[in-house]
Structure 1
Amino acid sequence: MIIGLDMGGTHTDVALLENGEIYKKTKYPRQEDFLESILIPLDQIMEGEDPLAIERVLLSTTLSTNAIVEGKLGKVGMVLEPGPGLNLDYLNSIFPVCFISGYIDHRGREKFSLDMDEVRSAGRHMKEKGAQYLGIVGKFSTRNPLHEKKIYETIGPSFSYSTLGHTLSGNLNYPRRIYTSYLNSGVWEIYKQFLKAIKYSLGERKIKAPLYILKADGGTLAGDAALLRPVETVLSGPAASIMGAMALEDIEEDGIILDIGGTTTDIAFLADGVPLFEPRGIEVSGFKTLIRGLYSRPCGVGGDSLVELKDGQLKIGPERLGPAAAFGGSSPTPTDAMVIKGIYKEGSRSKAIEGLKPLADKKGVSVEEMADMIYEKTADIIVENINRYLGEVNSRPVYTIHELLHGKKLAPQKVILVGAPAPAFAEPVSKKLGIPCILPEGFEAANALGAALSRVTTELTVVADTQERTLVVGEEGIREKIPSNFSKKDAEKVLFSYLRERCIKMGGDPSSPMEIIEEEEFNVVRGFYTSGKIIRLKGQIKPGIRGDYGA
């Protein structure tokens, strides 16, 4: 059996799976105590079950996302090697920075060596600034991590944790790699304490199964492996709903996935049945990163969104002040409207009426008319956001988790609805969009299911320079010699070999499907002659549902 657990903004959803099917499920209101929000529903679903029968525990958590959004990061100092011609002084307003004067060029060649006295001075300066954690990022460290490693060896051990930029991504975007490294070190301590508490709590419950954490790209990695790159766990909630919806409903055409929660509605798109991808990396609280992630956009309206009258007009969301009035809350919500209309069968209708009556009186309509207005307005907001984000997608190249679709324009043919309030909105959303809305069996536990069934994923970048006779595996910090006749086929073999090893280190199955997602090959010309080639390949373990569950 497998436990899948998704911790959202309003509720924690837990599903217990047996033979790939949902065997039990539960939902628990989010508590102030983060750990309590996980352990109480875990205990509920494990009641009467044999803990030794659990094969895996998979968790999607908002822990890292919340730490970033709420500004609760550890104090991180950044040691940067930008090289000539790049002014990054603006970063001093965001975090403590020391600029180092060495330089590795775009081919991985050392042009200026490090001044080790300068490096040691940078370490002392960061200590004086109160930094407990370190980010070390060179502009072209993905081509040669020599300087990042030397800086770490010199000052890194005196800090609680250090992130080396080349380990997080093989991509060259330097500002994004700086921000990604900063956030990774910033969330490390809170993730470390969380992991320790979760592992202890599972042990107390005699659950000895391995723990996996969901990532933003819809894949997972082992809990201990995530301790090296906790930033990859941000925005895993939307990824969980996308993977869960795909597990529940087969779709081969363009489509929309709506995860309607208590606070927000997450909107995602499928191109020919494949989730869209953020090609450059996701953005978190204003930080543009190199974190791989599925395309998903929030809409600030959900079942428990606050409903107000502003200048005589209905305003729904984005605030949430607690549960619906029908469930003991103090503020009117769309859920109260659905209870009054009889669409939502749970909750107290009399309390819902009491919650909506002040709005109805102020507007000069009956409570029932106010419920109709709120219901229609909520559906309108969702559809308006779908159309806005669809326009955004179709205004630029369309990337899926597998490839760039040249000239593709999405034309959704159906909507897959998941989340507890989903049944209430199937009809109005379908009517307003003019396409069918599908409510798959198990829709209310889609997020937990997605977390439970997602396979371990990772990516690697290989750059071979046959003129320099060097090969670099950026994320692994490997730089080795190659012959001058090294070919793209040789690069593919090296890439897949290291990718398989990396997958195993992250707790994955070495037989997981691998693919090349980016490839470049061009000649190096000196004078009038070709003197070598540069070959760049990026490969990944394909995100998707675990093969042993046949989805």
Structure 2
Amino acid sequence: MDVGGTCTDGVLVEDKSGEIVRKAKVRTVKGDVAGSVMRCYSALHVPSPAILSNFCVSTTLATNAMVEGTEKDVCAISIGLTPSRSVDYASETLVIAGRHDPMGEETCPVDMDTLRSKLNGTRMRSFAVSGYFGSRNPEHEKLVAEEVIRMLPGATVVRGSDLAGTLGAEERLFLAAKNAELMHLMSAFIEGIEDATGVPDTITYALRGDGTLVSTEEARLRPIFTVLSGPAASAMGATALAGTRDALVIDIGGTTTDVAVVRKGRVRIASEGARVGGSRLRTGSLDLRTIALGGDTEIFCEDGRAMLGSRAVQPLCLAPDANAMLRDRSFLYQDNERTVGITPTDLFRDQGKSDFGDAAIARAALEALARVCERPIASLRADIEEMIRARLLRVVLSAALGKDLPEGSDDLIKGGGLLSTKFTIALPIVGIGAPVRNFLDLIAERVCSEIIIPHDHDVGNAVGAVSTGVYGRKDVIVRSEVKYVDGDEERFFHVTTEEGCGSSATRTRPSPSPPT
């Protein structure tokens, strides 16, 4: 099941064959996630939870909370460093002394007296803790967390070193604060699923942003890792439906187009971390390229030219009061207060490529736009198609390269004059999402790659949640340092993990040639 912001999709899949037995799609009601899950589950007609071997869920819950912002009801405790932007993610900040050096050796003990004094004056019950070089030695973070729980029984405490082993004390503090916020949301979400379906948590799994599954217990403790699980589900579902382990996946919805790369059955991970809601998360999420392009993207007239905007509006051909809007012509111009307008959905309906909406309304809207732009209707359609094509090609090429395209590359993408450009992508393109076929038809002649639009692509996210698996990975870092002990040279080896599991040190007598 995929619980999205707009729809909740579900599939019942036969375990051995992978065949989709039934599928369902219901509207997600904001504030009633449990009810949305219940309606989708009921529509699948599962005879009994006992027949299920796995119940796998992806959700935009954590992603939306990151993008929309939350109450920031977290106290950030920083050890050995004054944060520069804690006001952006915490409602209260406590700074106490304490430091380790890059090798994990203590250079300044943690100031527990100051901590106790400051905790006596706080009303917060969620805490984030990060220490200076805490990823090299988390001992200070552990001492602080234990003291918080001792003084405030029942408090939620998240240590930055438990989430990431990367350097950057404030980055880990930010991660810990966001994780602390999301823990309550995720716990309520999981409990709502269990209450609505009766499925035991022993067979329930949540999808992470890297396309792998974790237990509900792990999801409750580290919900930050479920950020971008929706797009990850899309990527995994697309390849599963297409029967391939390698693909460039294009997921086109109403508002955005998401593009990801899957190699050997695993999504490509963003090396520098994914950027969500203006913040970079170093949590091993998929490398996702997103643009404002979908079936509901606004099309309007500006300075006598048709323009493709970035806002999503209701397609005019689906609006209940479309005839009244056609008369007042307000839909022809950009207005951030307007919620209905011309969209690609209207274009495709006018061209007979879609049966979604009222064809007469779509035709009248396009003809009105052609008149104000002083363009023949055929030329207007071609103009809009070229704008859609250029925007879609840009994000596809960016995903294929694994980096943003430089400024000024639009002319190269579009071609023109004596230049005709075609792009070879060394992976099949797999498209999912309700309007994907009409969009990909626009770039079919510009890319030298197989384009696959699989059956059941409209529930690709739900398929992705159930078609992946549980994976484990641990990165271990070994560092050596030469020190003099009682006048003798000795080499110390420090071992840490990228998952922040701690630090240890051993020492040996120097060998004739230092290890590399």
Same fold (TM > 0.5): yes
Q: 1:299 to 1:93 in 2, by over 3 A?
A: closer
TM-fit CA distance, 1:187: 1.6
Rounded Cα–Cα distance in structure 2 between residues aligned with 1:392 and 1:78: 34
Residue deviations 1:189-215 (CA, integer Å, cap 9, x gap): 222222222221122xx6777221111
Residue deviations 1:208-247 (CA, integer Å, cap 9, x gap): 7722111111111112211111111111111111111222
Aligned to 2:64: 66
Residue deviations 1:499-519 (CA, integer Å, cap 9, x gap): xxxxxxxxxxxxxxxxxxxxx
Q: 1:57 to 1:368 in 2, by over 3 A?
A: farther
1:186 corresponds to which of 174, 177, 181: 181
TM-fit CA distance, 1:140: 1.9
Superposition pairs of residues 384-533 of structure 1, within 5 angstroms = 384-391=394-401, 393=403, 411-464=425-478, 467-468=491-492, 471-472=495-496, 475=499, 477-478=501-502, 484=508
Rounded Cα–Cα distance in structure 2 between residues aligned with 1:284 and 1:353: 38
Q: 1:148 to 1:26 in 2, by over 3 A?
A: same
TM-fit CA distance, 1:171: 2.4
Q: 1:234 to 1:272 in 2, by over 3 A?
A: closer
Aligned to 1:224: 217
2:160 aligned with 1:146: no
Deviation larger for 458-467 or 8-17: 458-467
- Larger Rg belongs to: 2
Aligned to 2:53: 55
Rounded Cα–Cα distance in structure 2 between residues aligned with 1:311 and 1:244: 42
What TM-score do you get using the length of structure 1 for normalisation? 0.75
What TM-score do you get using the length of structure 2 for normalisation? 0.80
Aligned to 1:122: 118
Does structure 2 conserve the Cα–Cα contact (< 8 Å) formed by 1:338 and 1:371?
no
Letter in 2 for 1:349: A
Superposition pairs of residues 202-241 of structure 1, within 5 angstroms = 202-203=197-198, 210-241=203-234
Rounded Cα–Cα distance in structure 2 between residues aligned with 1:175 and 1:410: 42
Letter in 2 for 1:352: A
Q: 1:379 to 1:49 in 2, by over 3 A?
A: farther
Aligned to 2:282: 290
Does structure 2 conserve the Cα–Cα contact (< 8 Å) formed by 1:59 and 1:214?
yes
Deviation larger for 231-240 or 303-312: 303-312
2:143 aligned with 1:133: no
Rounded Cα–Cα distance in structure 2 between residues aligned with 1:90 and 1:143: 23
Residue deviations 1:458-506 (CA, integer Å, cap 9, x gap): 4434345684576555647455676859xxxxxxxxxxxxxxxxxxxxx
CA RMSD of aligned residues (A): 3.3
2:11 aligned with 1:12: no
Residue deviations 1:138-187 (CA, integer Å, cap 9, x gap): 12222222111110111245263111011112222433322211211122
Residue deviations 1:227-274 (CA, integer Å, cap 9, x gap): 111111111111111111222235577x52211111111012356886
Residue deviations 1:287-346 (CA, integer Å, cap 9, x gap): 222211111111101112222222233333422234663375843221122122221234
Q: 1:207 to 1:225 in 2, by over 3 A?
A: closer
2:388 aligned with 1:378: yes
TM-fit CA distance, 1:531: 10
Q: 1:144 to 1:533 in 2, by over 3 A?
A: farther
Q: Percent identity?
A: 27
TM-fit CA distance, 1:427: 2.1
Does structure 2 conserve the Cα–Cα contact (< 8 Å) formed by 1:202 and 1:208?
no
Letter in 1 for 2:441: E
Superposition pairs of residues 76-87 of structure 1, within 5 angstroms = 76-82=74-80
Does structure 2 conserve the Cα–Cα contact (< 8 Å) formed by 1:340 and 1:371?
no
Q: 1:374 to 1:464 in 2, by over 3 A?
A: closer
Rounded Cα–Cα distance in structure 1 between residues aligned with 2:30 and 2:80: 42
Letter in 1 for 2:396: I
TM-fit CA distance, 1:31: 3.1
Aligned to 1:498: none
Q: 1:321 to 1:411 in 2, by over 3 A?
A: closer
Rounded Cα–Cα distance in structure 2 between residues aligned with 1:395 and 1:276: 18
TM-fit CA distance, 1:348: 3.1
Residue deviations 1:18-61 (CA, integer Å, cap 9, x gap): 1312222222334333514433222212x264432122221111
Aligned to 1:39: 38
Q: 1:302 to 1:477 in 2, by over 3 A?
A: same
Aligned to 1:306: 298
Structure 2 unpaired stretches of 5+:
323-339, 407-422, 481-490
